[in-house]
Structure 1
Amino acid sequence: MFDCPIEESGGVLSGPVRQPLQMLSEQEYGHNGTIHDDATARSVGFEGGTIEGPTHFSQFVPLCHALWGDDWLARGCLSARYRAPAYEGDSLRAFLRRPDKDGAVAEIWMQRDDGTEILRGTASLGPDFHDTALTRRLAELSPARQPVILSNVEIGARVPRLPVRLDADRRVGKLYPFSLADKLRRITEPSPLYTAAQAPWDRPLVPFEMISVLMQHSWEDRSVDIKGPAVGLFADQEIRLLDGPVFVGEDYEVDREVVFLSESRRTESVWIRTRLLRPGSDEVVAEMLLNCAFMKESYAPYESERKALYGG
């Protein structure tokens, strides 16, 4: 399934060192710059345009497949907090710790070759998925007390269903200016699963990292009234396959709901749950929980609006 040598030591599986590519330098996001272009990223303190977080998920797929087999490709879950940015040219390795004998959740993490931890989280197998990294994280967070960029966003706000589809050769769109075929020429862990029918399935599968693209490419901030321009980045992300796999060339629909608002010293975060559904039905194929964190310093009127809203 995967041409990926896997090592194991002390119950920890690790894949090879990879150097993922940055494919979003030409991303168009309304009139905003994005964290993936060098100028914008440097303006908020990064070294340059960052690699999009879910790109890293591909390096965990062979490890999860080694642990759970084909079932994971249909009912798998990756749940992670992004802890540090990665840049093109970085050498990265994925790790997975086998669950305890009676455990159902595997710890995962990724490191750069200098020891920097890029992400940490969990992998698990449905239908239960158990105690994922983001299930725990949401339970520990306090709600945002004085949102400014997100002051017009309400928990429970919903975005109506939209049709989505991922074809092999069609450019995805302005948010993701490449096609699936372009991605597969650069993906860190290629597999024949992504290009042709492989038993037990009769169609090629959408790679795990591209499930994020399929579910996110139609996103617009005005759908839930996020103020801007402000620079956003993925801070936490979980993808669950409930009735997968997700197939190339298949028609789906997505809907979205705001489930939480949080904040840190530098960011305001909107947590959105997106469902991937079969058209015209309530059958959920996959779910994605995404924390999109907006940099306070990148929103020009932040301080004046904060004072107007909350005083002080």
Structure 2
Amino acid sequence: MSADLPERLEVTAILDPRPRYRGTSHEDATARAMGFPAALLPGVFVYGHAVRLAVIGWGADWLARGRAQVRFRRPVYAGDRLVVTRGALAREADGVAAPVTVTRGTEGEVVLDGRLGLADRPPDPPTTLPLPPTFMPKRAIRPGDFAPPLQLGSGETVLSPDFVAESRADFHETEAIFVERGLVHPGCLLRRTMEDAVANLALPMPLIFAGAEVENLAPAPVGARYATSSRIVSVSEARGKHYFETEEWLLADGHPVARHVRRNLYAMSRASVS
């Protein structure tokens, strides 16, 4: 099986200007005001590059029962040359997995590390996945002002062929399986659950995606109606940086297709910016 999974892939971090990035860390002016030297490439883009090894090697199997765990170590900026590498595959209790690393160009600086895996079978979803409406007005989240768990609401979105094609262009996703089989790519799914969850919240700063665990349950079809059953499950603080963790179940036409556990940086002191 290891022969099916590429060991190395080189890509360029491309961030096309989009109105959706205004007022976020993915726009130069906002990123500089937050203390960064330039606009950050969305973490979900870096994730999308990392899991290409799994899509190339395992194809539809990974989309149906694949796993990934990623941590973002350093910011990535548009134009950075990225190298995705994976280590040796090892058998685990319920599947196989290999370490994955994304480094920046000639410096070899690690910007992402984690694992890619293929489960013997996908996880069983909960028997009940609540889908209350999105909070109106948004719930203000400040450090220390709430205690998890907090169930979040969700709207319903049709991921139409035009929408998904635009998303593939945003991510510069070129793997043929998504067009040939009419499937939504992993980066679009991870972004969908994040946007559904964050739509409920009024935060003290633009959210920064810090890491995630992903479990796929089924390939995600283009044209289905998508909603996210999500909740804040924990909060933490480290060196002036405040995080909350969300568990997000993505449903397509009512059927679970993915589970995402995401770590989100939502508040920090000026001194904590690195």
TM-score tier, shorter chain, comes to: 0.7 to 0.9
**Structure 2, unaligned runs of 5 or more:** 124-140
Deviation at 1:285, TM superposition (A): 1.5
Contact kept? 1:164, 1:215, Cα under 8 Å: no
- Which residue is 1:275 aligned to? 249
- Which residue is 1:241 aligned to? 216
Deviation at 1:189, TM superposition (A): 4.2
Deviation at 1:99, TM superposition (A): 1.7
1:205 matches 2:189? no
Percent identity (aligned): 23
1:216 matches 2:194? yes
**Structure 1, unaligned runs of 5 or more:** 1-7, 131-147, 171-179, 198-203, 299-312
Cα distance in 2 for partners of 1:261, 1:255 equals 19
- Which residue is 1:167 aligned to? 160
- Which residue is 2:126 aligned to? none
- Which residue is 2:224 aligned to? 250
Deviation at 1:169, TM superposition (A): 1.8
1:104 matches 2:79? no
SS of residue in 1 equivalent to 2:196: coil
Deviation at 1:123, TM superposition (A): 1.0
Structure 1 residues 65-100: Cα deviation after superposition (integer angstroms, max 9, x where no partner): 454343112111221010111111100011111223
Aligned-residue RMSD, C-alpha: 2.7
Cα distance in 1 for partners of 2:113, 2:119 equals 20
- Which residue is 2:136 aligned to? none
Contact kept? 2:196, 2:227, Cα under 8 Å: no
The TM-score, its normalising length taken from structure 1, stands at 0.70
Structure of greater Rg: 1
Q: 1:26 to 1:64 in 2, by over 3 A?
A: same
- Which residue is 2:132 aligned to? none
SS of residue in 1 equivalent to 2:244: strand
Which of 37, 52, 55 is the equivalent residue of 2:42?
A: 52
SS of residue in 2 equivalent to 1:260: strand
1:284 matches 2:256? yes
Structure 1 residues 189-226: Cα deviation after superposition (integer angstroms, max 9, x where no partner): 402222243xxxxxx111111111222233446x35x5
Cα distance in 2 for partners of 1:87, 1:289 equals 24
Q: 1:159 to 1:20 in 2, by over 3 A?
A: same
| Residue correspondence of structure 1 range 178-193 to structure 2 within 5 A | 180-185=164-169, 187-193=171-177
**More strand per residue: 1 or 2?**
2
Deviation at 1:12, TM superposition (A): 7.9
Q: 1:248 to 1:24 in 2, by over 3 A?
A: farther
